[in-house]
Amino acid sequence: MPDSPVLQIKPPSPELAAKIANTIRFLSADAVQKANSGHPGAPMGMAEIATVLLTRFLRIDPKDEKWSNRDRFVLSSGHACMLLYSMLYFQGYLTLEDLTNFRQLGSRTPGHPEYGEVPGVEATTGPLGAGFSMAVGMSIGERMLAETYNTPKFDVVDHFTYVLMGDGCHMEGITNEAASLAGHLRLGRLIVLYDDNHITIEGDTSLAFTENVGQRYEALNWHVQHIDGHDCQAIAQAIEAAQSETTRPSLIVARTIIGKGAPTKAGSHHVHGAPIGDAEIAAGKAAIGFPNQPFYVPPEVAEYFEVRRGELHALRQDWNQLFGEYEKKHRSSARELIRVLSGELPKQWKKAVPEFPSDKALASRSSGGQIMNKLGTVLPELVGGSADLAPSNNTEIKTGASPDFIGPGSFLGRNIHFGVREHAMGGVLNGLALHGGFIPYGGTFMVFHDYMRGAVRLSSLMRLRTIFVYTHDSFYVGEDGPTHEPVEHLAALRALPRLHVWRPADANEAIYAWQAAIERRDGPSVLALTRQNLPTLDRNAFAPARESLKGMYILWSTLGKPLDVLIVATGSEVHLGLAVAKALAEEGRGVRVVSAPCLEAFALQPEGYRKKVLPRRPRKRLVLEAGIIQGWEGIMGETGLFVGMDDFGISGPANQVAAKLGFTPEAVLTKIREAGW
């Protein structure tokens, strides 16, 4: 078993451990009862598991919430959050008053765990299985940092990732994707405790779930144990065995009774998602000798955790001393580790990417890959991969200190083979971002965003610096046909709050899209990139590409003529807009072309700038985008014209598809004339 000072501390007596478990059990029941809302069953059933983790294993110091070598603890079954909040109370993150305000407006104990809002919460969980996939990412992150920065005498990165999950988590497909990847990679420091209570909202799990979960995980190369989830000694022994297993992740199948301690409702689905009632709580407390007092904490339990918090603080101080010695012996590595963990970027990093000359057409997936590789030479924290599409997405870092792919038991690399697992990839990327020390990216075809939208949504909710590289961004996919041609996806992505969607028009706009995504620290970014080649604009004739950082900018205008037609376009359609503008200008009309790589970035600009780019007049506004109209109505106005998609794409060579769908200068000019412009 790995050397762990925490495990050398004498655990509580069986009697005290039972009292701690019962305290957690009824703190959870009391909070749900007071709120008249919540899920008491799982927290009551997992109280012994929480007790063992708190008293014997979790290395967490609330005096330094962001201590980099803390153990990560993720409650994947987020509806059971009162268990987590009770644990955070005993750890010192929350107060008893916080527990009494469960699910109330503005409280620090919301209805599901919220990262960034509740101290000590490692990830926002709620959608079942999402927390599990993020924990896989955290465990990968721990291993990658450990292999990169640890030395024989200095294991400055050596923590565990613990997960609690329930039956519903195992039913969701994302967990199988993530578990398959974790087993393949041999994540020996990932320890999952499964609350095997056989109950979901509708009733017994046998209604819809009869598989042998343990055997499934064994087939996925996991170390699997089966225990009584209410036997503290058995729980502790299983966790110790899991810590000793260094070549496989561990699943501990803990058979529990949902709502344990509720005299008449324990073991039934009636205790899953509703308060159990004052009478049931009173009877349950009487049976264990607790007074019928809401939020009761026995003095000996409070005293135990006061001492325990001191022990954990001393443990962190020991680690601080170790890291201080590491800094003296390995100054450069320590400096870099501190920097990547802080999220700060190195000086002069932007100079790694030169601008592209205008004499060559490049698909933005190609230019994007070149940019990413240049950035990789100066940003060791830039890590990621693709859902089995790296050659198409151009998302493999081939330069830098460690260009290799990580693999089973080997984590000294920059690239990850995610396999055909889009949803799990999104969750793992979020886990890497949450762990700290990384700017993670993941690539796939844009149309497959549908498979990972849940993870992208959580990334936005948590304001993570995660980068989603979506190539093959329109009907120009061509021969692959409508199943692979995204139509509504740009609109769907832009509908997510806090997500910035970048669709660059050429290689140099792609530089600044990557720059914006790297610099952004308050949310994720999408890079929507083309399969087909795009001309690289001559910036002597057009506005500088750096203006694209503002989200929208005036790319080109006729001179000396009143503005008559305003053209707004994104990505590949910017070139279509320029061709249309040239034809209109030759007719003597005043035209402006606005490139709009990121609507969200434009919305953040000062009002004066936005009015300059998009003046109230003219009312002849033409919007060009190979997607649906949704989201453009405000920019287009009531009298504007939209050239886009209102149905699915078709199969054929890209240029023929474009002509068929009306994405040619001649077709657009015809629409303009038909509109009476």
- Alpha-carbon distance of 38 to 7, in angstroms, equals 34
How many residues make up the chain in this entry? 677
The dihedral built from the CA positions of residue 40, 240, 170 and 407, taken in this order, carries a sign that is positive
In angstroms, how far is CA 512 from the centroid of its own chain?
Answer: 23
- Answer yes or no: are the C-beta atoms of 566 and 622 closer than 8 Å: yes
**CB-based burial, 637-659: b 16+ in 10 Å, e otherwise:** beebbbbbbeeebebeebeebbe
Dihedrals phi, psi of 267, to nearest 5 degrees: 85, 0
Which structure tokens are listed for 112?
């599901």
Separation CA 251–CA 88 (nearest Å): 23
List C-alpha distances in Å: 446 to 80, 417, 485, 530, 660.
34, 18, 8, 10, 22
Measured over the CA atoms of residue 124, residue 128, residue 132 and residue 134, the dihedral's sign is negative
- Give me the pLDDT at residue 10, please: 79
Phi, psi of 444 (to 5 degrees): -165, 175
- Report which residue type is found at 104: Q
Q: Which residue is associated with the tokens 């061709």?
A: 579
565: exposed, middle or buried (Cβ count in 10 Å: 0-12, 13-18, 19+): buried
Report which residue type is found at 1. M
In the chain, the domains with their CATH numbers are 12-316 (3.40.50.970), 349-534 (3.40.50.970), 550-674 (3.40.50.920)
Picking from 86, 79, 78, the residue whose alpha carbon sits closest to that of residue 49 is: 86
d(CA 280, CA 266): 10
Residue holding tokens 């561990």?
250
CA distance 217 to 223: 8
State how far the Cα of 38 lies from the Cα of 527, in Å rounded to an integer: 39
Q: Which residues of 97-129 are buried (b: 16+ CB within 10 A; e: fewer)?
A: ebbbbbbeeebbbbbbbbbeebebbbbbbbbbb
Of the candidates 41, 83, 113, which has an alpha carbon nearest to the alpha carbon of residue 275?
Answer: 41
Output the DSSP codes for 518-574.
Answer: HH--SS-EEEE--SSEEPPP-TTTS--GGGGGGS-EEEEE-SSS---EEEEE-TTHH
Residue with tokens 């990417």: 353
Tell me the C-alpha distance between 417 and 406, whole Å: 8
Token readout for 290 is 């607790």
Give the span between the Cα atoms of 179 and 528, in whole angstroms. 29
- ∠ Cα 553 558 562 (to 5°): 100
Q: Alpha-carbon distance 540 to 310, whole Å?
A: 65
Tokens coding 643: 């050239």
The pTM for the full model equals 0.97
Match 């987590």 to its residue by tokens: 84
First to last CA, the chain: 77
Tell me, what's the pLDDT at 9? 64
d(CA 526, CA 601): 12
Q: What is the mean pLDDT of each run of 10 residues along the chain (677 residues)?
A: 49 97 98 98 98 97 96 98 98 98 98 97 98 98 98 97 98 98 98 97 96 98 98 98 98 98 97 97 98 98 97 97 98 98 97 94 98 95 97 88 81 95 98 98 98 98 98 97 98 98 98 98 98 98 98 96 97 98 97 98 98 94 98 94 97 98 98 96
Is cis: bond before 618, omega within 30 of 0? Answer: yes
Local structure of residue 355 (DSSP, 8 states):
P
| Alpha carbons 532 and 485: distance in angstroms, whole number | 13
- pLDDT score recorded for residue 404: 85
Give the residue numbers marked as catalytic: 422
Nearest to 311 by CA among 54, 83, 74: 54
Largest CA distance in the chain: 91
- Rounded Cα distance, 207 and 205, in Å: 5
Which three-class secondary structure state does DSSP give residue 121?
coil
In whole angstroms, what is the distance from residue 626 CA to residue 530 CA? 11
> What residues form DSSP beta bridges with 224?
251
Q: In this structure, what are the phi and psi dihedrals at residue 81, rounded to the nearest 5 degrees?
A: -65, -20
The pLDDT assigned to 5 comes to 43
